Chains A and B, each alone.
Chain A
Amino acid sequence: MSALPFTRRAGVLPGYGLSLGITLFTVCLMVLLPLTALIVKASGVDWSDFSTSITGPRARAAFALSVGASLAAALVNGVFGTLVAWVLVRYRFFGRRVLDALVDLPFALPTAVAGIALATVYGQDGWLGSLLEPHGISVAYTRLGVTVALVFVGLPFVVRTVEPVLHELDPKVEEAAATLGASRVATFFRVIFPTFAPALLTGVSLAFARGLGEYGSIIFISGNMPLRTEIVPLLIVTKLEQYDYAGATAVAVVMLAVSFALLLLVNLFQARVRRARGLR
C-alpha cells in the first residue's frame, strides 16, 4: 500500500520495464484510445442535449431495463454458474468434457444466432413457449425474455472465473471441517464459500457488465417495444439511425461510466479482501 505505484520491486525474473511498457501500450492502444475518442466526442455535445438524451422517459425506461435485467441475469448466473463449475470440478461423469465445452458456446456463438434461437424456442409455437404460454407465462418479447437471453450470454463468465478457484480447493479442507464437527451447511458457508467468493464476485460483475452492453441477441427476443422492452444499446442504434451522433454518444458515455464504476468498485473490493486475508 505504501509502495509508490512505479517503484520497482526486485523480482526473480527480468523484464519488468519491458513488460509494463508493452502492457501500457496495448491497453492504451486497444482500450483507452477508442474510449477517449468517445469522451472527446461527448465533450463536444451541448449539455442540454446531453441531459435530454439521457433523461427522457424512454431513456430512463431503457436504463432501468438494461440495469435491472443485467443484474437479475448476473445473479441467476451467480447461483447456477457456481453449481455448474462445482459439478465440472468435483465430479467425473460420462460427457463431462462435452458439458465443459458447451459452457463456452455462448462465448463463441454470434449473438444474433443466440437471439434467434431463443426467440424460436420461447416463441408461442416454440418447444418451451408452447408449454409456457398456456399457463400465462410469456418469455419471448417480454422483459423476462431479455433476462433469459442475458443469462445465456453471461453464464460462461461465472463458470470460467469460479472454476479454477474451486479446482485449487483441496477436498481435505472440507474433510477437516467435517471432522472438527462442522455441519454440511456450515462447511459450505464458512469454509468453501469464502474461498471462491471473490472469484464469484468477479464473474457476476463481468456477466453484469456484459449484459449492459449486449445487443445482438436481445433485439431478437425483446420485441423492442418503447418503454417496455427497449434496451439501452438499442437506443444508441436508434439515435445513430437518425445520424444523431451526439445523442448516441451521450447515452454511450453514461453506459461506459456505469460499467467502469462497477468494475472499479469490484476490483477495489477484491483488493481489500485480499489484503484482509494477508495475501499481499
Chain B
Amino acid sequence: MKPLALLFALAGTAALADTTLLNVSYDPTRELYQDVNAAFAKAWKAKTGETVTINQSHGGSGKQARAVIDGLEADVATLALGYDVDALHQKGKLIPADWQKRLPNQSAPYTSTIVFVVRKGNPKQIHDWDDLLKPGVLVVTPNPKTSGGARWNYLAAWGSALRKNGGDEAKARDFVTQLYRQVPILDSGARGATTTFGQRNIGHVLLAWENEAFLLTQELGKDRFEIITPSVSILAEPPVTVVDRYADKHGTRKVAQAYLDFLYTPEGQAIVAKHHFRPRTGAQPERPQLFTIDEVFGGWTKAQQTHFADRGVFDQIYEGGK
C-alpha cells in the first residue's frame, strides 16, 4: 500500500503546483476563450507564480449543460443562455439558486445581439424586422427547439414586434408565425444555419449572433455578405458561473473565480471586443435599441415555458392549434 500512497501524494502535489481548469462553453466562443485562456494564464502566473492550464470544451449550449449535469466535471461553465445555467442548479444541484447575482451584470461579462446577414448589395432591400415578411423573402434561422442561438433569434423577433405594436401579444404572434412560414429549413444548430446560408446559398437573410455575423463576413468574404442592424433587437447575455460542486472537489474555486473575474478586467474586455462580442464597458452603438429577456419575457424560465416547451407557442405555429 505504501508506495501507492506515496504515488498519490506525489500526484497531489503535482496538481497543486500545476492547476488545471475545465471551461465548458458553447460553440461560437472557441476563438474567444483561446485568447482569454492564454492571457489569463499569463496574468495568473505574474500574480501568484502558479501555472494554470485551462482546457475548453465546446458544443451546443444545452448539450454542454447536460454533459456537466451528467458528470463532466467543469470548473466553470460559460453557456449561451441563462436557462442552461439554471439547469445546472435545477437539475444538477451543482450551483446555488442565486448564481446569477454572484458576478456583475447578471453574471454576463459580455453581450451580443441578433442581427441580419444579407447577400452583397442587399438585393431584397432588408433594413428592419418588417422587411423580413416581404413576399418571397426566405429567412434562415435554426430550430429553437434544438439550438440556444435560435431561441435568441425567435425572442428578438417576438420582442421587436411587441415594441412596434405597443405590446400587442397577438400581433407579435402573427409576426413570428408569418416569419417562420418564410423559413425553408430549420438547422439543428447556429453553425448549421450559417453553413446553409453561406455555403449552400439558401435564403435571403440569415438571423445570427452579431459575433457570428462578423465571423461569416470575415471568413467567407466581405464582398459576399453585408450585416444589417435592425432598429430594435434583443440584448443577448451569455452567462458565466463557477460550478461550485466540481470546483470545490478539485480545490480550484479560487483560480476559477479569478478566471471569471478576469473577463471583467480591461484586458478581458478588450479580448471580448476583439472577438466581436460586446464588452460591458465603453460606449455602446446606438443601433439597435436593445431590450432584455427579463424586461420583455420575464426571464428565461418563463420564456422557455411559454414559447419552446412541448405544445408551446413555437409548436403551435407549426401544429396550427391554439
Contact = CB atoms under 8 A, between A and B. Distances in A.
Contact of B146 (A220, A237, A243): A237
Contact of A224 (B87, B185, B310): B185
B66 A240 contact: yes
Given A58-B319, A223-B185, A120 B200 contact: yes
A247 interface: yes
B304 A242 contact: yes
B309 A242 contact: yes
Given A123-B200, A227-B319, A241-B146, A219 B91 contact: no
A228 B143 CA distance: 14
Interface in A166-208: none
Interface residues of B, number: 28
A243 B311 CA distance: 15
A62 interface: no
Contacts of B188: 219, 224, 234, 237
A226 interface: yes
B146 A226 contact: no
A112 B160 CA distance: 35
Given A120-B200, A241-B62, A243-B66, A220 B319 contact: no
Interface string A204-215: 000000000000
Contacts of A126: 200
A51 interface: no
A125 B66 contact: no
8 contacts: A119-B200, A123-B202, A124-B202, A225-B185, A226-B318, A227-B319, A241-B63, A247-B310
Given A57-B319, A124-B200, A237-B146, A225 B309 contact: no
Interface in A99-124: 116, 119-120, 123-124
Contacts of A123: 200-202
Interface in B265-322: 304, 308-311, 315, 318-319
A56 interface: yes
B186 interface: yes
Interface of B: 60, 62-63, 66, 87, 91, 143, 145-146, 184-188, 192, 195, 199-202, 304, 308-311, 315, 318-319
Contacts of A141: 184-185
Contacts of A223: 184-187
B315 A226 contact: yes
A43 interface: no
5 nearest A-B residue pairs (beta carbon): A226-B318, A223-B185, A238-B145, A241-B62, A224-B186
Contacts of B309: 242
A244 B184 contact: no
Contacts of A225: 185-186, 318
Contacts of A227: 318-319
A256 to B, nearest CB: 20
Nearest to B65: A243
Contacts of B146: 224, 234, 237-238, 241
B310 A242 contact: yes
A195 B278 CA distance: 68
A123 B195 CA distance: 12
A247 B309 CA distance: 11
Contacts of B184: 141, 223
A117 B188 CA distance: 17
B143 A224 contact: yes
Interface in A34-60: 52-53, 56-58
Nearest to B187: A224
A143 to B, nearest CB: 14
A240 B185 CA distance: 21
Given A119-B200, A226-B319, A242-B304, 13 more contacts: A56-B310, A58-B318, A58-B319, A123-B200, A125-B200, A125-B201, A219-B192, A226-B315, A227-B319, A238-B143, A242-B308, A243-B62, A243-B87
A57 B318 CA distance: 10
A57 B311 CA distance: 10
A158 to B, nearest CB: 29
Nearest to B305: A242
Contacts of B200: 119-120, 123-126
